Structure 1
Amino acid sequence: MTPLERLERFLTGEHGKSRATRAAYLADARLLLELAGDRALDTLHPRDIRGYVRTLKLRGQDARSIARRLSAWRTWFRLLVREAGYTHNPVEGLRAPRAARKLPRPVGVDETQGFLDALGREDDPLSIRDSAIFELAYSSGLRVSELVGANLDDFRDGGQTLLVLGKGGKTRQVPVGETALAAIARWQPIRTTLAQAGEAALFVGKTGKRLTPRAVQARLHDWSDKLGLADRLHPHRLRHACATHFLQGSQDLRATQELLGHASIATTQVYTRLDFSHLAQVYDAAHPRAKSDPDP
């Protein structure tokens, strides 16, 4: 039985993959055979696989496609080690190329403020709550999990900052803008009538219990449609808008990192889409070696 036949039997029998998945695995396997040429599979080593990855990059394949192929090859070799007597798996331990980080389309300051202002003019209880949620998201750059995790007693400094539980159980304090504070103050009397006894959450639903991330996402989608936005908003786009607008105004990357709660400043650089044209202007104006001496 050939290695390819062995894989096909594995996929149709023990592994129980769908027809489309089986076809994708087999296509990836045939690609490896093509790349290997006359080489027998049991003679391949990690350096060979790395060479094939470089070839795929030169052919224009993106990181996600290459990662999928490596995963299929790894599964295939595990099968051959187990059933065909292969002594090693040349794909084991190899990392796929890092996929480019996909960021939401930037939302302009006017577009963001127009949306929040329109929502703030609504006067029914749930709209008032939603206005407070999204004002806080934009004001402080919060993740949706941080929004729904916020409690009434998390405010500090007379309500001017909020203690946030972020990724990895790390806490940080973030400032809360005046507009967000006003929206929250408008929501709090309504919250008192809705929240179940003992509920600590800042934002609750009709049942009086803490909102879920999915509920917040759904409400933001609904408001995007109701207010006629060209593109639907979602919580991460509000966080991205906060970061971008804050960075454009402050030009302080470190402060932006602290606001967002990023462990690495490299994440902040990618996430906020630094305005390099503005950076170039600041550099030309400020750096003593940016321009040649006009009077040599």
Structure 2
Amino acid sequence: MPKRLDAPAAPTSIDTPRIERFLAHLAHERQLSEHTVRAYRHDLNQIAVWLADQGEPGAEPIASLDEAGIRRYTAWRHRQGVSGKTLQRELSSLRGFYRWLLRENQAVANPAVGLRAPKSPRKLPHTFDADQLGALLDPVDEDPLMIRDTAMVELFYSSGLRLAELVSIDLGDIDMSEGELGVIGKGSKSRRVPVGRKAREAIERWLAVRSALADRDERALFVSLRGGRIHPRTVEKRLARWAVERGASRHLHPHLLRHSFASHLLESSGDLRAVQELLGHTDIGTTQIYTHLDFQHLAQVYDQAHPRARKKASKPDERP
């Protein structure tokens, strides 16, 4: 089996200081999220590890790459079975790194421009059956942690939130009387999403016991046993445990609830644009994948919605 490099160690090379300065630029000048900066570090370290294995000590690995070298790298990763989506992200990281090198006058060209990763089949997201999920959510708990976990599940499913969006919610972000929630999504884009009745009831039950766990000055809506803002990894573990204790037949994770929200809402409404807005997607094509749309359904929505595609209504005296 090929050697896996899912979590490469940070290499020591002539390029390491450049990479760290670039990451500092992303974090402080561009103010990208910690998660995004971590992804850039992983991708650039992955490439540096590969270059270090090529047996050229003393070279300036990433900063001296040319287009042919990048093609060799992507071919090697593709042979390892790495998905096209992952390779495209790694190429995007390289392009960003070289844009910064050009700005700093440390490169004369961007060799990653125009390169595209091999395409891989898009997998349709899994979803929970609506009735099955409803049965899991119906029981009422007495344990504060289970009350909190149920409120998180309800909010994920009610509003189609990403994991990072849920853990960043503060008490002042949610308007219980109006049933609305303000969230900051990818790219620091804000949006408002509705919070359903069942989710509001679950959150109210959580708020009634939250003070027993939360630190006095903690603003986070969801807190951990230690009293501070709950960590994303803790949410994942707790949701998996919550599902097992409720007798779920499959593993439960935050993105599965987001998929289920989108799919169930679209099945009921047929409003692709509304689902796109609620999910915070820039590209409607992304929404299509999330919601299991086939092209025929998409074309039908387009024909009904686009002013230049709708069929002109026949007048009473017109003949077909």
TM-score (norm. length: structure 1): 0.64
Post-superposition shift, 1:282? 7.7
SS at match of 2:241: helix
Contact 1:248 1:275 in 2 (8 A): no
CA shift for structure 1 position 153: 0.8
Q: TM-score normalized by structure 2?
A: 0.60
SS in structure 1 of the partner of residue 198 of structure 2: helix
Does the 8 Å contact 2:125/2:290 carry over to 1?
no
Distance 1:258 1:64, change over 3 A: closer
Q: Compute the displacement of 1:281 (Å).
A: 7.8
Give the C-alpha shift of residue 288 in structure 1. Answer: 4.9
> Residue 204 of structure 2 is aligned with which of 146, 166, 185?
185
Of residues 96, 101, 110, the one that matches 2:131 is 110
1:66–1:96: 8 Å Cα contact kept in structure 2? Answer: no
2:192 to 173, 196, 200: 173
1:35 — aligned with what? none
SS at match of 1:158: coil
| Helix, strand or coil at the partner of 2:288 | helix
Query: Among the aligned pairs, what percent are the same residue?
Result: 45
Q: Name the one with the larger helix percent.
A: 1
Find the aligned partners of 2:161 and 2:85 in 1 and give their Cα distance. 32
Partner of 1:249: 268
Secondary structure (helix, strand or coil) at the match of 2:255 reads helix
Q: Residue 4 of structure 2 corresponds to which residue in structure 1?
A: none
Q: Which has the larger radius of gyration?
A: 1
Q: In structure 1, what is the Cα distance between the partners aligned to 2:301 and 2:281?
A: 25
Whole-angstrom distance in 1 between the partners of 2:211 and 2:311: 59
User: Structure 1 residues 155 and 264 mapped into 2: Cα distance closer, same or farther (>3 Å)?
Assistant: same
State yes or no: 1:134 paired with 2:153.
yes
- Unaligned 5+ runs, structure 2: 1-12, 15-44, 55-65, 95-108, 313-318
Name the aligned partner's letter for residue 165 of structure 2.
Answer: E
- Once structures 1 and 2 are overlaid, which stretch shifts more, 248-257 or 219-228? 219-228
| Structure 2 partner of 1:228 | 247
Q: State the number of aligned residues.
A: 235
Q: 1:151 aligns with which of 148, 154, 170?
A: 170
CA distance in 2, matches of 1:134, 1:66: 28
Give 1:64's aligned residue.
84
The DSSP-based 3-state class of the residue aligned with 1:164 is: strand
1:269 is matched with which residue? 288
SS of equivalent to 1:211: coil
Assess, with a 3 A threshold, how the Cα gap between structure 1 residues 127 and 159 changes in structure 2: closer, same or farther: farther
Equivalent AA in structure 2 for residue 201 of structure 1: A
How far apart in 2 are the matches of 1:126 and 1:146? 20
Change (3 A) 1:92 1:185: closer
User: Matches of 1:157 and 1:65 in 2, distance apart?
Assistant: 39
Contact 2:182 2:192 in 1 (8 A): yes
Q: Distance in 2 between matches of 1:266 and 1:122?
A: 39
Residue 126 of structure 1 aligns with an amino acid whose one-letter code is L
**1:109 corresponds to which letter in structure 2?**
A
CA RMSD for the aligned pairs?
4.3
Shift of 1:230: 2.7
Give the 3 Å change call, closer, same or farther, for CA 282–240 of structure 1 in structure 2: closer
Q: The residue matched to 1:233 in structure 2 has which SS?
A: coil
Q: CA deviation at 1:250?
A: 1.0
Counterpart residue identity of residue 225, structure 2: K
Shift of 1:107: 1.9
User: Partner of 1:96 in structure 2?
Assistant: 116
Q: CA deviation at 1:246?
A: 0.8
**Structure 1 residues not aligned, in runs of 5+:** 1-13, 27-44, 75-88, 290-294
Equivalents in 1 of 2:147, 2:176: separation in Å?
24
